[in-house]
Amino acid sequence: MSNRRGFLRQVAAGTAGAVALGAPALGAPALGRTRSGAVSIEDLAARARTASPTDEAFWEIVKGQFPLHPDLILMNAANLCPSPYPVQDAVFRLTRDVDQDASFQNRAKFGGLAETSREALARFLGASPNEIAITRNTSESNNTILNGLSLGAGDEVVIWDQNHPTNNISWEVRAERWGFELKRVSTPDRPTTEEELVAVFRGAMSPRTRVIAFSHVSNVTGVALPAKALCTLARAAGVASHVDGAQSFGALDIDLHDMGCDFYTGSAHKWFVGPKEAGVLYVRENRIPELWASDVGVGWQGAIESGGARKFDNLGQRDDAAVAAVATAVEFHEAIGPALIEARIRALSAALKEAVRERIPSVEFHTSDVPERSAGVVVVKIPVDDQRQLFNWLYEEHRIAGGPRGEPYGGVRLCPHIYNTMEQIDRVASAFAAAV
């Protein structure tokens, strides 16, 4: 494309065609790739021992564990990730097991499998099993915290204005109902130091502050907050810290006891590449008695007698296969190594920013260039008239799947993960250049 008008005309034509046909202009084949590139978890672990964040041969093997369509560049981890074959196999096998025999006797084994998943999550996140509840997603975990805390008139809660709605608007609803005060803090654009992020929370806190609630990594800009420093600040003031980990669970190497938070939440279907409709809720041991459960279902007494955070996943009938397969997702991550996964994600996101900037010097990133102030979420804004049309055009013409971002952080959100390659990073940068 030679100019922006041509770009917009092309997108408009493609979108019109897609509406007429009831499908994307290029269509999406019903079947993805086969298992030809798949290896066992044991083999993957053996290869990972000598791998590096930039060992493209190794990461091609990792990519082969996912049933991605061969011409698709999927960079939408902030929203939804595919599961690798071992996780899919666990879900499918256990789902068929239930469907073949839905008796109480056959399903009795899922109680033990859920505990295996709980123990795996605790190991993966640096917590104890008693502090882990398996929920359905981050939203449910966030709302369990919001509904479970005893707050009222005279109390205040400090939140980041870049939080996800379930850790932002949901606080507004509770404040309206219960009468506590809500304070929103804004952080500097493209921050470079830890102190400039911590300072705004410190300045907002008062003797009446009961909770600070923030996203570990923003889903709207990609900015990463210094969680440990903020949790330390809160603890020193006797304030509870609630960390929304939707964009760090499975992406960063997490140790919750070291972080020092009181609550942490996450979804299995994002960076964790786990089963759909499974999530995690961490409640620090000493906070469990004071947090009320939002759901009380059959088995409540057993959950209470078993102790710990089990009272927060007493949710009635569950997708038992998904809950059990969470342990397999942990096994997959551990085979590669959480530290290596984090390093790879950081290498990809840094390469993406560098490659786009080389081709389009006027590009604007809402995400910080400082490694400690960002993670895997990259929000790109290039000089075209309509960012939403750009988002659609990238998919329809180049098979690049990202996420749209509205104002004030307009642009396209790209979230490279372990199933992406450096060659794909280069193709994405070239596609952006073609749009200008």
Same domain, 53 and 138: no
Q: Mind listing the pLDDT tens digit for each residue in 64-122?
A: 999 999 999 999 999 999 999 999 999 999 999 999 999 999 999 999 999 999 999 99
CATH number of the domain to which 122 belongs: 3.40.640.10
Q: Mind listing the pLDDT tens digit for each residue in 132-156?
A: 999 999 999 999 999 999 999 999 9
Pairing of strands 156-160, 378-381: unpaired
Determine the pLDDT at residue 26.
35
Same domain, 385 and 281: no
Same domain, 63 and 152: no
Assess contact for 29 and 399: CB atoms under 8 A.
Answer: no
User: Is 283 in a helix, a strand, or coil?
Assistant: strand
Rounded Cα distance, 412 and 373, in Å: 19
Same domain, 281 and 402: no
| Residue finishing a domain among 335, 359, 389 | 335
Average pLDDT score over residue span 394-401: 97
Average pLDDT, the chain: 92
Same domain, 268 and 203: yes
Q: Which of 228, 267, 231 is nearest to 251 (CA)?
A: 267
Q: What are phi and psi of 207, to 5 degrees?
A: -60, -15
Rounded Cα distance, 427 and 246, in Å: 27
Rounded Cα distance, 236 and 232, in Å: 6
Same domain, 62 and 114: no
Model confidence at 435, pLDDT cuts 50, 70, 90, reads very high
Domain count for the chain, please give it: 2
List strands edge to edge, sheet with 132-135.
132-135, 279-283, 263-267, 240-244, 209-215, 156-160, 181-185
Range of the domain at 255: 91-335
Same domain, 171 and 25: no
Same domain, 143 and 290: yes
Res 34 pLDDT > 60: no
CATH number of the domain to which 414 belongs: 3.90.1150.10
Same domain, 105 and 147: yes
Determine the pLDDT at residue 309.
98
Assess contact for 350 and 371: CB atoms under 8 A.
Answer: yes
Q: Which of 66, 87, 133 is nearest to 275 (CA)?
A: 87
User: Is 337 in a helix, a strand, or coil?
Assistant: coil
Determine the pLDDT at residue 279.
98
Same domain, 196 and 276: yes
Cis status of the peptide bond prior to 408, with omega within 30 of 0? yes
Same domain, 204 and 331: yes
Model confidence at 36, pLDDT cuts 50, 70, 90, reads low
Q: Which two tokens stand for residue 157?
A: 């809660």
Average pLDDT score over residue span 42-51: 97
Same domain, 372 and 262: no
Q: Which two tokens stand for residue 112?
A: 């033990």
Determine the pLDDT at residue 284.
98
Q: Mind listing the pLDDT tens digit for each residue in 229-278?
A: 999 999 999 999 999 999 999 999 999 999 999 999 999 999 999 999 99
Q: Mind listing the pLDDT tens digit for each residue in 268-304?
A: 999 999 999 999 999 999 999 999 999 998 889 999 9
